[in-house]
Amino acid sequence: MKTISENRAFGGVQGVYSHASAVTGGEMTFGLFLPAEAEEGLVPVLWYLSGLTCTHENAMVKSGAQRWAAEVGIALVFPDTSPRGDDVPNDAAYDMGQGAGFYVNATQSPWDKNFRMWDYVTEELPRELFQAFPLAEAAQSITGHSMGGHGALTIAMSFPGRFRSVSAFAPICSPTTSDWGRKQLLAYLGPDEATWAAYDATLLMKKRGFDGPILIDQGTSDQFLDLLKPEALAGAMAERRQGGSFRMQKGYDHSYFFVSTFMEEHVAFHAGALNA
Amino acid sequence: MKTISENRAFGGVQGVYSHASAVTGGEMTFGLFLPAEAEEGLVPVLWYLSGLTCTHENAMVKSGAQRWAAEVGIALVFPDTSPRGDDVPNDAAYDMGQGAGFYVNATQSPWDKNFRMWDYVTEELPRELFQAFPLAEAAQSITGHSMGGHGALTIAMSFPGRFRSVSAFAPICSPTTSDWGRKQLLAYLGPDEATWAAYDATLLMKKRGFDGPILIDQGTSDQFLDLLKPEALAGAMAERRQGGSFRMQKGYDHSYFFVSTFMEEHVAFHAGALNA
């Protein structure tokens, strides 16, 4: 584990670290905020998965989450959104390849060698984190924005019991029926759409749901509403009688101004579930 | 006045606008956060002046100030740090030319035509702002970071009665004796050091002081302490018996993690002075 930077922030430490990743076949970078309480013992963890084009850094510098995490003594993990590097496949489009891992395990060439973000975020990075830092494995929650909201929801529903709560900001709700999804799932997973279903929050909601509280915020002026398809997930939640809040926030768009506006409530929501 | 972007944020609007500037001879861009209260009437204004290399955008996306300004119904203005453009003089160094206006009126060629940031920030931009937006001219305060802290302090002391309060994050305290200052003042103002004194917070503190509350935060692990010279201004404040707080914050560095950590207290401090 290499330390790239550590900055004191809100009484704790905002660090950036990198490590060799066997799963993605290269060096991976992530951000980790440790509140002051981490000096005394294990602290709960809130995972934040970022959206298209983001690195580990965007939410770390723009979401304002540390302020609220510090208040309740919770750590924040900011993984990258894909493998990186000159020897890692890429695509000229902003929504494919580097910066657009979509939190799946690719099975198709040339992506299958490196683009295994599902295993990276759910297996390898947790293992590394819980070994290296004072984090409470039994007290985890997860959130994310856009593509990261898709990641948070699908991962939370796929690992029952691991996450106490899940939330999302403007998540991609229905990738198997959206241009934010079909293109990438075809490239990463191939044409058999049966393999796509494990990565679709709406389909997982219909099939499994989530055994814990859910909070979703979506701006009504989001420029990507047609791609995000909130109606699919909101409908599935209501249909399943899934406990949770799906809030349409009037006038907000897809930017980090939207995320930072509601971050306080999301962190407080998770803190409640984490007894923090 | 051109609207570049407007995003809903914290119940208000974070806008970015540009306008033709006679003072700097080109188009200037600034950020303006208007809280929800601006829909009903005039709101107080807190100016935020940024540091070296910054544009109007850095503090706008990284300081977290909007959250606190929204809470107390205060507007935030984020000016750029210099004129910009291909036809504006520049320098290869990060600390000269574009992004490094130092909040002075340059008198030396080639800078004197465009680099008049003192007049821009204290005359032209206020005039434009108070004409175009619901801002209360009688309720202004000012803050800034690094070079912007220098700007905030020198401007506040030079316009008695205009600002109710002044604060700064890791300000350049003594530019006439520091490598963050001497090089730029020589280039912009020429070799007569008597002309530099109007742009030095420590010298202005000794000569005039400020008729209102002052709050200064400085990290003890700031990598630029030798250039910032907090001891010069802290000493001058104590010597003058100037009311105010000069706080050395243990372990914090020069980054926006430091700024965002203490932003809540700075906005609350100004809100008190602005009766907001």
Contact A64 B61 (CB under 8 A): no
Active site residues of B: 146, 222, 254
Q: Closest to A8 (Cβ–Cβ): which among B67, B253, B264? A: B253
Flag residues of chain B having pLDDT under 70. Answer: none
> In the prediction, which pLDDT does A275 show?
85
Nearest 10 degrees: CA dihedral of B61, B64, B70, B75?
-60
Query: Pick from B273, B257, B187, B182: which is nearest to B222 by CA?
Result: B257
Contact B256 A61 (CB under 8 A): yes
Q: Which residues of chain A are within 8 Å of residue B10 when distances are taken between CB atoms?
A: 257, 260-261
> In the prediction, which pLDDT does B29 show?
98
Flag residues of chain A having pLDDT under 50. Answer: none
> In the prediction, which pLDDT does B126 show?
98
Cβ pairs bridging A and B (under 8 Å): 64
Q: Closest to B257 (Cβ–Cβ): which among A7, A252, A257? A: A7
Helix (H) / strand (E) containing A60: helix A57-62
Q: Closest to A253 (Cβ–Cβ): which among B7, B64, B256? A: B7
Q: Which residues of A236-245 are buried (b: 16+ CB within 10 A; e: fewer)?
A: bbeeeebebe
Total-model pTM: 0.92
The CA distance from A100 to the nearest CA of chain B, in Å, is 23
Residue B245, beta-bridge partner list: B215
Contact B8 A252 (CB under 8 A): yes
Residue B6, judged by CB atoms within 10 A of its CB (0-12, 13-18, 19+), counts as: middle
Which amino acid is it at A66?
Q
Residue A90, beta-bridge partner list: none
> In the prediction, which pLDDT does B276 show?
72
Contact B8 A264 (CB under 8 A): no
Contact A261 B9 (CB under 8 A): yes
Which amino acid is it at A88?
V
Cβ-based interface (< 8 Å): residues of A facing B: 7-11, 14, 61-62, 64, 66-67, 219, 221, 251-253, 255-258, 260-261, 264
Interface with A, mutate which of B257, B258, B262, B267 (most A CBs under 10 A): B257
pLDDT digits (tens, 9 = 90+) for B43-102: 999 999 999 999 999 999 999 999 999 999 999 999 999 999 999 999 999 999 999 999
Contact A61 B61 (CB under 8 A): yes
Contact A66 B255 (CB under 8 A): no
Q: Closest to A8 (Cβ–Cβ): which among B8, B62, B251? A: B251
